[in-house]
Amino acid sequence: MSCVRCLEPDNPIWYDGDSSVASREAALWFNIAREWADEQGLKHATLEFFQLKCLLMLSIKLNLIKMRTHYPLSQSLLATAMAAGLHRSANTLNQPTSFYEQEMRRRIWWTITELDLAECTERGLPSLVENLFVDNEPPSNFADADLNEDTTYRPVEQLEQVFTESSFARQSKSMQPLRYMVITLANNPVRHCSVMSSEINDLHDKVLGCLDDSIYSHGVDAETALNLVLETFDIFEERIIACGNGFRGFWLTFAASCYLKANSEEPAATLWKEKISSRIIALCSKVSMSQNTDNQSEEQRDAVFAKYMRHLRRAGVFAGLSVSDCK
């Protein structure tokens, strides 16, 4: 319930400070589930326990709950999974395991490492997985309908070209070593400053080698790139409206779009900045006007107003507008 609460905004939507009412409800449900999970301990670290832990991590990411805790929580989940031996192949266990359990171990370990990778990338911090010996196989390529607790035999795997619910997991798993290499290079200042251009070129070739030809062989022109940026803005706006928070990604995309448009003629670049700034002003106004002020003190209302004024000033700086133009 917590994971899906903010996928669709309420109508009408209300905000309580820097969070929507829906996000507050999601946080309440998350805290209840987390307290119950924390009481279980490693003694009860079953597959269902790890599934719940993964859902809890997904919930705080989707609902932008306690963002400063995302990285330590992902590392705690990773350490718990390692202590339970999920990084090792089921064939190395000293106890019999069903095929269902073997496959679920693969899928859960992949999910945990993906959550770890996402947090390491976002926070610019290292991961334990890169130097960890892992022999747990990637998820198998067959449909979820062929797998349940009563499965006693291995279903027939589909070809890699056949899409199943595990296709993304398999592709992602095959690229994990390279992705860990990239974040290690980016997050290590000493290594980053001493890297040779030949190493960068080699890494570039490895990245392209992991991608399908149709993705990059034809290139992307400037207009197509800007359309992709606009679609990204739409996604961020929907998330901000649903949760009341999440401006960081919006600003990063804004900066990237200004960089792309900088190669255009000056009038076009200026019009682009003004266009996106207007979107930010409209977004801040919508969130600000939908505040549930009945439950807020005067200090809280002032803090919310100050927050959105900072966003408006920042938009003005990007577009070269004065503060009065943003009002």
The 3-state secondary structure of 105-143, one letter per residue: HHHHHHHHHHHHHHHHHHHCCCCCCCCCCCCCCCCCCCC
Least confident stretch, 51-65, 124-138, 232-246, 258-272: 258-272
Residues 226 and 322 in one domain: yes
The pLDDT tens digits for 189-229 are: 777 777 788 888 888 888 877 776 554 555 566 677 777 77
Inside any domain, residue 105: yes
Instruction: Give the H/E segment covering residue 148.
Output: none
Residue 211 phi/psi, 5-degree rounding, is -100, 150
Residues 141 and 226 in one domain: no
Summarize the confidence of residues 90-118 as an average pLDDT. 88
Residue pair 53/40 in contact (Cβ under 8 Å)? The answer is: no
Least confident stretch, 74-88, 169-183, 313-327: 313-327
Domain count for the chain, please give it.
2
Residues 231 and 163 in one domain: no
> Final residue of a domain: which of 170, 187, 214?
170
Instruction: Give the H/E segment covering residue 36.
Output: helix 21-40
Inside any domain, residue 27: no
Residue the block writes with tokens 């899928």: 107
Inside any domain, residue 189: no
Least confident stretch, 9-18, 71-80, 96-105, 116-125: 9-18
Residues 166 and 70 in one domain: yes
The pLDDT tens digits for 234-260 are: 887 777 777 777 676 677 677 667 666
Residues 321 and 227 in one domain: yes
Grade residue 322 by pLDDT with cuts at 50, 70 and 90.
very low
Inside any domain, residue 26: no
Burial label for 67, CB within 10 Å (0-12, 13-18, 19+), is middle
Inside any domain, residue 317: yes
Phi-psi region of 12 (alpha: psi -120 to 50; beta: other; left: phi over 0): beta
Grade residue 301 by pLDDT with cuts at 50, 70 and 90.
low
Token pair in block for residue 325: 């133009």
Token pair in block for residue 114: 């993906």
Print the domain residue range for 309. Answer: 222-326
Summarize the confidence of residues 159-165 as an average pLDDT. 81
Q: pTM for this one?
A: 0.74
Inside any domain, residue 37: no
Inside any domain, residue 197: no
Residues 155 and 238 in one domain: no
> Final residue of a domain: which of 102, 136, 170?
170
The Cα–Cα gap between 63 and 144 comes to 27
Residues 308 and 234 in one domain: yes
